[in-house]
């Protein structure tokens, strides 16, 4: 059976070649996808040591707790929108329905650019993450092993390419296994820190903050940087169509991802303070830098356990790349299904129900970019990776803001069965809070990136984000001018819409024209 849709003929769900598999994954799988996309172990070796070295101390774990509360507020409105609009486009669909089609396409390009930047940052980290392991496993007398970035990136790329076109249950199982392994080892490291605290006991100083001495600009910087560490949890929404309960599972999965990320980041950062001592953590973090997590573990655990912890860094990078690949593939699939990108991207595997065409396109694009970087002689290190991850996360933070605002407007424009919490209170509070954090993040961008205010990259990041917004608006204008029927379908999730054609207006004929002899001249 074929219905007439806004973008042309549309198959019904049972024979639609663009339909993703339904009823495949549950809340736990969605939560683990969100946890993997945020890559908490990467935050623990990049952002947390820098914050502790700056003297923030107990404010670091407390800021993660405060940000978790804020993002739970966001999830209230986000889950309500998922219940109304369960779509692989997630935020793109929500913004299109709440703020209009041009804003929706701007949000789509923000999401694609943000996820791609974070993904490239993780690829750049792959070699650096594997190098210490190679040295400990394969080093011989007088020789040291160094894993080039491209080798680690190529290995990750190959595995992700393989899993990208498989059934979602397989990818979810692998991502879940990697995320659980990452979380389990981090919990073990944190427990070892707490069981062997500096000075022999855990003191209240490790968590005490004197409100009278808080440096408010530093607190604002810490909150702005900390919220970037959660970027990726919102990708839970793209799995709504494939979930066991499309209108419920993805929303609950977003809640679960926020809680898991907050527990790991807050708990591990606090355990580092306890292990080094509240009075010494600033000096120790400054001396150890990104190796702080493993250095503290090395003082308390056997060498094989420390090696296992280093393996988890590689695992975290791989899990993050895999989760971000799936999120981007589903965004591309949703945009292809609605006709704003080539419709070939909407193709789904007949046996797997995975967004096969979008996944292959994403794989080829990333492979070409990595090959180009290798051919150009690029050698991105951990610092470059950190810049890319933070720049991408800033794009996602702006996406969260417009998504919260879209939820507030859409849910109250046509109230449904949502509670006042999900429809009004949660979106309103999260819009105000996220708006404040976006302001702080752009204001303190030089400090977040660790660069002077006049450095070109400090200006390039906002310019790139602004360019994505302009690209989305221009894209919407082009689609509206060239394909108005496709423009009308933006944000409709590619569902079949029955279009009733206008009745044909009869021609106006001259009275008596059928009998020429009776026409007066």
The domains located in the chain, with CATH, are 28-86+113-235+250-328+351-450 (1.20.1740.10)
Report the range of poorest mean pLDDT among 214-228, 402-416, 419-433: 214-228
Quick one: pLDDT band at residue 214, thresholds 50, 70, 90? low
Per-residue confidence (pLDDT) for residue 345, from 0 to 100: 92
Per-residue confidence (pLDDT) for residue 61, from 0 to 100: 93
Residue 332 has pLDDT above 60, yes or no: yes
What burial class does residue 149 get, using C-beta atoms within 10 Å of its C-beta: 0-12 exposed, 13-18 middle, 19+ buried?
buried
Residue 358 contacts by C-beta under 8 Å, 6 or more apart in sequence? 328, 329, 330, 331, 332, 333, 336, 345, 346, 347
As a whole number, mean pLDDT of residues 451-461 equals 91
Per-residue confidence (pLDDT) for residue 494, from 0 to 100: 63
Q: Per 3-state DSSP, what percentage of the chain is helix, strand, and coil (rounded to 5)?
A: 75, 0, 25
Residue 237's nearest CA partner among 252, 226, 224 is 252
Per-residue confidence (pLDDT) for residue 216, from 0 to 100: 65
d(C-alpha 480, C-alpha 468), whole Å: 18
As a whole number, mean pLDDT of residues 448-477 equals 93
Per-residue confidence (pLDDT) for residue 55, from 0 to 100: 81
Per-residue confidence (pLDDT) for residue 199, from 0 to 100: 82
Quick one: how many helices (H) and strands (E) in the chain? 19, 2
pLDDT tens figures, 76-87? 999 999 999 999
Per-residue confidence (pLDDT) for residue 363, from 0 to 100: 95
Residue 243 three-state SS: strand
d(C-alpha 105, C-alpha 111), whole Å: 10
Place of tokens 């949703």: 334
258-297: burial string, b at 16+ Cβ within 10 Å, e else: bbbbbbbbbbbbbbbbbbbbbeebbebbeebebebbbbbb
Residue 141 has pLDDT above 50, yes or no: no
- Tokens linked to 444: 């303190």
Per-residue confidence (pLDDT) for residue 132, from 0 to 100: 72
Per-residue confidence (pLDDT) for residue 143, from 0 to 100: 54
Residue 10 has pLDDT above 50, yes or no: no
Report the chain's mean pLDDT, rounded to a whole number. Answer: 86
Q: Is the dihedral of CA 179, 185, 191, 196 positive or negative?
A: negative
Quick one: pLDDT band at residue 350, thresholds 50, 70, 90? confident
Q: How many CB atoms lie within 10 A of CB 483?
A: 14
Cβ 102 vs Cβ 374: under 8 Å: no
Enumerate the H helices of 277-302 as residue ranges.
281-288, 292-298
As a whole number, mean pLDDT of residues 110-121 equals 95
d(C-alpha 258, C-alpha 269), whole Å: 16
pTM of the prediction? 0.89
As a whole number, mean pLDDT of residues 324-332 equals 95
Across-strand partners of 54? none
d(C-alpha 4, C-alpha 188), whole Å: 57
Residue 257 three-state SS: helix
Q: What are the phi and psi torsion angles at 316 (to 5°)? A: -65, -40
Residue 500 has pLDDT above 60, yes or no: no
pLDDT tens figures, 357-383? 999 999 999 999 999 999 988 888 888
pLDDT tens figures, 59-105? 899 999 999 999 999 999 999 999 999 999 999 999 999 999 999 99
Per-residue confidence (pLDDT) for residue 20, from 0 to 100: 85
């Amino acid at each position: 059976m074929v219905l007439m849709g806004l973008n042309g003929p549309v198959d019904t769900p049972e024979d639609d070649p663009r339909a993703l598999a339904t009823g495949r994954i549950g809340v736990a799988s969605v939560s683990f996808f969100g946890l993997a996309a945020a890559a908490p172990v990467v935050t623990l070796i990049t952002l947390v040591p820098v914050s502790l070295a700056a003297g923030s101390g107990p404010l670091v774990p407390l800021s993660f707790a405060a940000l978790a509360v804020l993002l739970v507020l966001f999830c209230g409105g986000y889950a309500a929108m998922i219940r109304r609009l369960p779509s692989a486009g997630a935020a793109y669909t929500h913004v299109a329905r709440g703020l209009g089609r041009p804003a929706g396409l701007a949000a789509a390009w923000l999401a694609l650019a943000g996820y791609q930047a974070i993904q490239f940052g993780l690829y750049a980290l792959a070699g650096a993450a594997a190098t210490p392991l190679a040295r400990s496993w394969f080093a011989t007398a007088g020789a040291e092993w160094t894993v080039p970035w491209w080798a680690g990136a190529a290995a990750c790329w190959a595995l992700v390419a393989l899993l990208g076109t498989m059934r979602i249950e397989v990818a979810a199982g692998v991502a879940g296994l990697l995320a659980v392994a990452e979380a389990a080892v981090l919990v073990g490291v944190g427990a070892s820190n707490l069981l062997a605290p500096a000075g022999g006991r855990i003191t209240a100083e490790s968590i005490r903050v004197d409100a009278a001495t808080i440096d408010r600009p530093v607190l604002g910087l810490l909150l702005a940087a900390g919220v970037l560490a959660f970027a990726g949890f919102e990708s839970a929404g793209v799995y709504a169509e494939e979930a066991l309960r499309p209108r419920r599972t993805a929303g609950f999965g977003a809640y679960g991802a926020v809680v898991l990320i907050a527990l790991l980041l807050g708990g591990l950062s606090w355990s580092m303070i306890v292990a080094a001592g509240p009075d010494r953590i600033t000096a120790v973090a400054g001396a150890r830098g990104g190796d702080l997590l493993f250095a503290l573990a090395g003082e308390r655990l056997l060498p094989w356990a420390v090696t296992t912890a280093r393996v988890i860094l590689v695992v975290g990078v791989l899990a993050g790349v895999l989760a971000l690949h799936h999120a981007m593939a589903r965004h591309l699939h949703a945009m292809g299904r609605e006709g704003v990108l080539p419709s070939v991207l909407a193709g789904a595997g007949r046996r797997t129900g995975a967004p096969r065409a979008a996944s292959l396109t994403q794989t080829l694009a990333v492979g070409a970019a990595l090959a180009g970087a290798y051919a150009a002689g690029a050698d991105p290190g951990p610092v470059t990776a950190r810049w890319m991850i933070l720049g991408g996360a800033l794009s996602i933070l702006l996406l969260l803001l417009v998504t919260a605002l879209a939820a507030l407007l859409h849910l109250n424009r046509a109230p449904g069965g949502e509670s006042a919490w999900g429809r009004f209170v949660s979106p309103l509070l999260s819009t105000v809070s996220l708006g404040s954090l976006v302001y702080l993040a752009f204001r303190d961008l030089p400090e977040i990136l660790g660069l002077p205010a006049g450095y070109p990259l400090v200006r390039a990041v906002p310019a790139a984000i602004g360019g994505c917004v302009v690209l989305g608006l221009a894209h919407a204008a082009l689609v509206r001018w060239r394909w108005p029927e496709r423009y009308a379908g933006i944000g409709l999730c590619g569902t079949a819409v029955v279009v009733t054609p206008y009745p044909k207006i009869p021609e106006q004929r001259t009275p008596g024209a059928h009998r020429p002899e009776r026409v007066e001249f």
